[in-house]
Amino acid sequence: MKALAKLKAEPGIWQTEVDKPQVGPNDVLIKIKKTAICGTDVHIYKWDEWAQNTIPHGMVVGHEYVGVIEGMGSEVRGFSVGDRVSGEGHITCGHCRNCRAGRVHLCRNTTGVGVNRPGAFAEYLVIPAYNAFKLPDNIPDSIAAIFDPFGNAVHTALSFDLVGEDVLITGAGPIGIMAAAVARHVGARHVVITDVNPYRLELALKMGASRAVDVSQQNLKDVMKELGMTEGFDVGMEMSGVPSAFRSMLDTMNHGGKIAMLGIPPSDMAVDWNKVIFKGLIIKGIYGREMFETWYKMASLIQSGLDLTPMVTHEMPMERFQEGFDIMCSGQSGKVVLNW
């Protein structure tokens, strides 16, 4: 079958032929319809230090997808051939303390689809049936294809009560923008999002942010004044991984504020802990999606009218994958979807 794989230890991704994956007794075989390119795929494409240390030679990458179940192992219950599914890309162990307690998103032995095991940029994908998520009919394929990053946004945004709150989101990447849309949808008051990329700030406004601030041009504190905010943000979502963005968040949070951190900073990011202590801030790290509570919330949010359509800014046949990666690398896009 055709697939996109990391065939060389250098920047790039290559189309190739690989064997159709074997289906184990607890697995489902998914015929892939659409995939989306994730920031992680871009790291693998660019072959940065993390990718060099993580991705085995020849790995078929990709973990954002929608497809249809075409086969399944003898032990699988609750799915049928023909079910339209997306899937959770974190494969959990099932035997650590958190897995056994039902806190599966906190599994300490997670492996990643398209990172540590063959991924979704292929005609077929095999995952444990446990990880498949059956999609309601009224969720379009292009939206289902971005459920994985949408789940990062939903998991982060729903970590704290947002109703009537003033929210700061640093980083208007696809995940930050979707988090802004969720915050607006569930009833936040001001949803202020920051970035240094005008294209993405524009998209954030379209998706419901009340203010989109280019921090290379404008001071966040001036914007707060304009909005009549006299104290500070109640909830922060760090979605850039950029230390200066996190520092601006610590500066502008109200006392007692709550911060959810999804963006991955350099490991040695310096923080003025006095701000955390004297403001009494609560900081929560976010990894992946809650299994499977986040997935149910995602489906419900879409069914309750949250419109993610503008997020998919580019869609093309998989043969044009190079163009897709070029667009993602340029930063001039929301999500880029490849049709298989």
Closest residue by beta carbon to Zn ion: 107
| Contact partner at residue 59 from Zn ion, ligand NAD, none, CB < 5 to 8 Å by partner kind | none
Question: How far separated are the first and last CA of the chain, in Å rounded?
Answer: 11
Q: Is 172 in the site for ligand NAD (CB under 6 A)?
A: yes
Considering only 68, 93, 264, 327, the residue that binds Zn ion (CB under 5 A) is: 93
Q: Is 96 in the site for Zn ion (CB under 5 A)?
A: yes
Q: Is 92 in the site for ligand NAD (CB under 6 A)?
A: no
On the CB side of 332, CA atoms within 13 Å amount to 4
Rounded CA-CA distance 282/322 in Å is: 42
Q: Is 192 in the site for Zn ion (CB under 5 A)?
A: no
| Contact partner at residue 93 from ligand NAD, Zn ion, none, CB < 5 to 8 Å by partner kind | Zn ion
Considering only 36, 215, 237, 249, the residue that binds ligand NAD (CB under 6 A) is: 215
- In the block, tokens 């240390």 appear at 53
- The 51-90 site mask, x for binding ligand NAD (CB under 6 A), equals ----------------------------------------
Bond prior to 325 in cis (omega within 30° of 0): no
The structure tokens listed for 245 are 């963005």
Rounded CA-CA distance 287/290 in Å is: 9
Rounded CA-CA distance 323/296 in Å is: 33
Stretch that binds ligand NAD, among 49-57, 66-74, 127-135, 241-249 (CB under 6 A): 241-249
Catalytic sites, residue numbers: 40, 43
DSSP H stretches of helix in 81-234 = 97-100, 141-144, 147-157, 174-185, 198-206, 220-226
Considering only 13, 175, 237, 260, the residue that binds ligand NAD (CB under 6 A) is: 175
Question: How would you label 308-317 residue by residue, b for 16+ Cβ within 10 Å and e otherwise?
Answer: beebbebbee
Q: Is 332 in the site for ligand NAD (CB under 6 A)?
A: no
- Smallest gap from Cβ 231 to ligand NAD, in A, equals 22
The structure tokens listed for 33 are 């319809």
Q: Is 264 in the site for ligand NAD (CB under 6 A)?
A: yes
Residues 6 or more apart whose Cβ sits within 8 Å of residue 230: none
- Residues lying near ligand NAD in the complex (CB under 6 A): 39, 152, 170-176, 194-197, 200, 215, 239-242, 244-245, 262-264, 286-288
Residue ranges in contact with Zn ion by CB under 5 A: 92-93, 96, 99, 107, 109
